Structure 1
Amino acid sequence: MSEIRILIVEDEAIVADDIAYRLENLGYEIADIVASGEEAIESATDYLPDLVLMDIMLQGEIDGIEAARTIRERLELPVVYLTANADRATLERAKVSVPLGYVLKPFKDRELQVTIEIALTRHHAERELQQALENTRQQQRAAEENSDLKTQYLSMTSHEFRTPLTVIQSSAEMLEHFGDAWSDEKKQKYIQRILSSTASMNQLLEDVLTFGRVESGKVPFQRTSVDVETFCRDLVDAIAFGAGQGYSIEYSVRGTPQPAHLDEKLLWHLLNNLLSNAVKYSPDGGVVTFTVSFESDRVCFQVSDSGIGIAPEEQHRLFEPFHRAKNVGKIPGTGLGLAIVKRSVDIHGGSISVSSQEGKGTTFTVMLPLGEEEKRG
């Protein structure tokens, strides 16, 4: 893994050398050491470090806060303040420059390292969010859909990202300000919150990008000959392994298996979402049944669970992007899985239906034509 390069902005030479020594011992690389806000902007532009460690009180015409604001606006680099000035007025000014952390002098090496790593994680998450939102905007502009619907999707995406980002930020700030006084167990609890929220963001990013590609037609539809029986058995084995011993997936085949000419990638998204949801919304120790039935000109996939079910008044909205039933509680999800399923079914020219009773489980039935393999020129 490449080293993380840090720009040190500190006007006390002895202090700057000490900080550089500590950072190098922690495994970081020093991009440059400068003593003024003007030099900080110039050096950041030249070296583009991974992070700027900025003293607030600097000699020269501009202080660390003004330099940090300029660096963030021009270069979008993360800035962490290193200062002995923690009065309310200074902190209020510092907030305007959107720093990703504070370390108060004197500091401990571990405190410095944790603040830097959290700042880099938050910065990476923000960049990924910006990229995901930009991709969504581009996909929406290219899609021939109602402009009001596009705006709604973007708003929903931003809303879904806000929760994990808030958890990451609040947990990081709590660690930053109170970590030294906490037990290792309590610190670990907040670290787990950060990791869990990061995992949620990654899943949301994947779902948003997949949905965007499918919705905008950027996933090429290509039928190939698929051994459906083996394909489904391998998928069941993978999902059962990830679900753990508390769950069981009963897989069966009806009729005479025959080649089906389907898009294998879309088929994977379709069945993976249905089976994963069936496991997720089933009680511990629940049984999921997966039946594949071959007919003369089509193949039927049926996934049933005995989980929380879906209220009748919500069933007509199941395939809307970002929609989640009111009874899901704290069960994690993005509200995009079934939207991806529906688009995958539609692209194949198939059909999907649902039968559900709240508290007694749900059954999804998908019908896909066997199709013919596409001819290649």
Structure 2
Amino acid sequence: MENAVLLNAIIENAIDGIITIDDRGLVESINPAACSLFGYTPGEVIGKNISFLMPPPDRTHHDEYIQRYQHTGVPHIIGIGREVKGLRKDGSVFPFMLGVSEVTLSGRKIYAGFIHDLSQQKRAEEQLKDYATHLEEIVDERTFSLQESVEALQNAKEEVSLSLEKEKELSQLKSRFVSMASHEFRTPLSAIQLSASLIDKYAQPFKSEHIAKHVGKIKNAVGNLTTILNDFLSLEKLEAGRVEPSFAPFDLVKLSEEITEEMQMVAKQNQHIIYQHTGKESVVTLDQNLLKNCIFNLIANAIKYSGENTFIEFNTEITGNAITIVVKDNGIGIPEKDQKHLFEPFFRAHNTGSIPGTGLGLNIVARYTHLMNGSVDFKSIVNQGTSFTILFKRHE
């Protein structure tokens, strides 16, 4: 008796709805939670066929399920985790998760349905879907805006190259541009980058592919713009004579391994950077920051102008009289007619197509190398690849 009272109390106070029916589909009991979900009183439900709580087409199919059960002895569904729809007294339809258990009582079979309302979850899913759609629109707008900025910078570069006749005028114009870029672009770019990272973080619980895809677009666009700004700032400092090498001993192998690890993270799919050092020595005396910038530029170009599933060779060698750094790829190569212009500022080979770039990276590499009393050379064949070599002579 005490167990029956306890069981009844549990059913009456359950958060989820519980309905029991006989093998003909007639309702025998309904708890308060189920009454609240469907909007009926117990008297309006008990004795009626459970199908009246179902919207079409489930209602029309229900009798077929009952007939099938009476002939086969196998119920339509026993178990947990089926999502179905219910019909309220006011005519509205709501989703719920249905679990059905078969119980044998006094020689007859009774089926207990456990009803968990999914209305709030579905509303949240719809809100998330609307949010994702809205976010996609925002991302598209931001991406378009960033693309316009990149195109504006590219156009500005072409105008500078074509219209300026005197070095003084070019220097003045670049100074104004660098000042504008530093103040007008860096602050919003940082805000966009931070916002994209926060969106990525807060959207992780939703596991939305759309959000991840468009956040990735924002980060890539910001990265391209940041590279452009850095190239222009580096060029401006070089031409203003504000770059002075600071020579100090450091471990070239350790630096190269760090660069390899960092650049591998931004490599294309199945693109592998293979680093190898030759020589017993590893310590050199150069400007570590300038050299790091040079190697970064060369490996970044190798990644950019090589395809997926390729290898990029990165080698360093220290001998008694020289320090040699080689970066080799098997990418698109450089047309022979363009090779004599390769280290000129703003120059880009004619086969680069839509691959983004400023045409400043190799010019900066050459000038940084020369500041450290070194030289840079290359060999290239179209569609076979390019090899860049930086050489520093050692003086005892």
Q: Hey, which of these two has a bigger chunk of strand by percent? A: 2
User: Who wins on radius of gyration, i.e. which is larger?
Assistant: 2
